[in-house]
């Protein structure tokens, strides 16, 4: 039986880490794709990764290319293509440049691998995943955005740092758009099943929520140039693994809502079941009035960005 084929569109910092993590988990053979101008760089990364394999013994073939024919019949695509955020830029500033790139990527993926499962990471995320969906014409179960997985990981991290307890035992979720209006659902957060509201003061929790919302910007500022790459890569790999291994993980992802949580026709962060059928189900639950107001606020921001795509 041949190994699954995973194509990474964009060979920058996230792309390189995606390739490393996918190889370490032996999820399949990996193609790192980028534009002809940087073909040497992705070929170099692929070769470097190939030479890392003997140390841990993973069997995965890793190649770099700028030829769309090399991604033919891929099982999974993870798209990071686009320019990263610079200090002072918000995700919407990226829209115009990255939209042009996404349209081209969508058309090529449709041609080369119409049955594939596609995970979009490019920012502004909610608009980019929508653009891919519209241009490709793919069914909604084949397209998803990586947002909530990362936002929730950041929320989990900050709760673990605050309590000094294992991050493995922290469970929480963040809904909504991938931006400053995201909605951490703090009342459902637990550490080992114990409500986080019993462990951390309301005032401190509000500060942690705020830090979660602006966590991406915090890293952009510290770097001075570029944006996060380790955690976003792992978040997307978790999603790809759930698809390839039919794990049925429940991961907050930007999925196309068709009535769930009162949202229709937009990709937004919701608890999503990912299995061999792609996006198999969105898990709905009762929001409080305040949470619903916050979700409606974040939806308005998503609508505005999506409208700017003109699709």
pLDDT in tens, 18-69: 999 999 999 999 999 999 999 999 999 999 999 999 998 999 999 999 999 9
Question: Residue 116, Cβ neighbours under 10 Å: how many?
Answer: 22
- Cα–Cα distance, 158 to 51 (Å, whole number): 35
Confidence of residue 194 (pLDDT cuts 50, 70, 90): very high
pLDDT over 80 (residue 218): yes
Total number of residues shown for the chain: 311
Average pLDDT on 2-14 reads 97
Residues sharing a CB contact under 8 Å with residue 27, sequence separation 6 or more, in sequence order: 4, 6, 60, 237, 240, 241, 244
pLDDT reported for residue 92: 67
pLDDT over 80 (residue 215): yes
User: Could you read off the pLDDT of 120-148 as tens digits, one per residue?
Assistant: 999 889 999 999 999 999 999 999 999 99
pLDDT over 80 (residue 216): yes
Contact 272, 279 (CB under 8 A): yes
Confidence of residue 84 (pLDDT cuts 50, 70, 90): confident
Pairing mode, strands 76-79 and 29-33: unpaired
Residues sharing a CB contact under 8 Å with residue 310, sequence separation 6 or more, in sequence order: none
Q: Which residues belong to the active site? A: 178
Q: Which domains does the chain have, with CATH numbers?
A: 5-145 (3.40.50.720), 148-309 (3.90.110.10)
pLDDT over 80 (residue 93): no
Query: For all residues of the chain together, what is the average pLDDT?
Result: 96
- pTM value is 0.96
- Cα–Cα distance, 291 to 30 (Å, whole number): 40
Question: Residue 20, Cβ neighbours under 10 Å: how many?
Answer: 20
Average pLDDT on 292-305 reads 96
pLDDT over 70 (residue 91): no
Confidence of residue 96 (pLDDT cuts 50, 70, 90): confident
User: Could you read off the pLDDT of 143-179 as tens digits, one per residue?
Assistant: 999 999 999 999 999 999 999 999 999 999 999 999 8
User: Could you read off the pLDDT of 97-119 as tens digits, one per residue?
Assistant: 899 999 999 999 999 999 999 99
pLDDT reported for residue 88: 73
pLDDT over 80 (residue 87): no
pLDDT reported for residue 225: 85
pLDDT over 90 (residue 181): yes
């Amino acid at each position: 039986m041949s190994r699954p084929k995973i194509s990474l569109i964009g060979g920058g910092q996230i792309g390189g880490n995606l390739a490393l993590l996918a190889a370490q988990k032996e999820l399949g053979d990996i193609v790192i794709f980028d534009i002809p101008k940087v073909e040497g760089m992705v070929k170099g990364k692929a070769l470097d990764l190939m030479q890392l394999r003997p140390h841990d013994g993973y069997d995965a073939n890793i190649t770099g290319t700028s030829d769309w024919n090399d991604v033919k019949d891929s099982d999974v695509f993870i798209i990071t293509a686009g320019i990263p955020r610079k200090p002072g830029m918000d995700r919407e500033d990226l829209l115009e440049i990255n939209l042009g790139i996404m349209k081209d990527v969508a058309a090529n993926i449709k041609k080369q691998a119409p049955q594939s499962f596609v995970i979009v990471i490019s920012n502004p995320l909610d608009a980019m995943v929508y653009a891919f969906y519209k241009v490709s014409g793919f069914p909604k179960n084949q397209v998803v955005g990586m947002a909530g997985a990362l936002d929730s990981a950041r929320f989990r991290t900050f709760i673990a740092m605050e309590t000094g307890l294992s991050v493995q035992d922290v469970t929480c979720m963040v809904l909504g758009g991938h931006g400053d209006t995201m909605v951490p659902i703090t009342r459902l957060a637990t550490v080992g099943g114990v409500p986080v509201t019993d462990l951390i003061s309301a005032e401190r929790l509000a500060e942690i929520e705020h830090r979660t919302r602006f966590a991406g910007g915090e890293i952009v500022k510290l770097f001075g140039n570029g944006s996060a790459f380790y955690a976003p890569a792992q978040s997307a790999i978790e999603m790809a693994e759930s698809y390839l291994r039919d794990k049925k993980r429940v991961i907050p992802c930007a999925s196309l809502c068709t009535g769930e949580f009162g949202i229709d026709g937009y990709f937004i962060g919701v608890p999503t079941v990912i299995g061999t059928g792609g996006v198999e189900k969105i898990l709905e639950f009762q929001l409080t009035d305040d949470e619903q107001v916050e979700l409606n606020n974040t939806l308005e921001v998503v609508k505005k960005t999506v409208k700017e795509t003109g699709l």
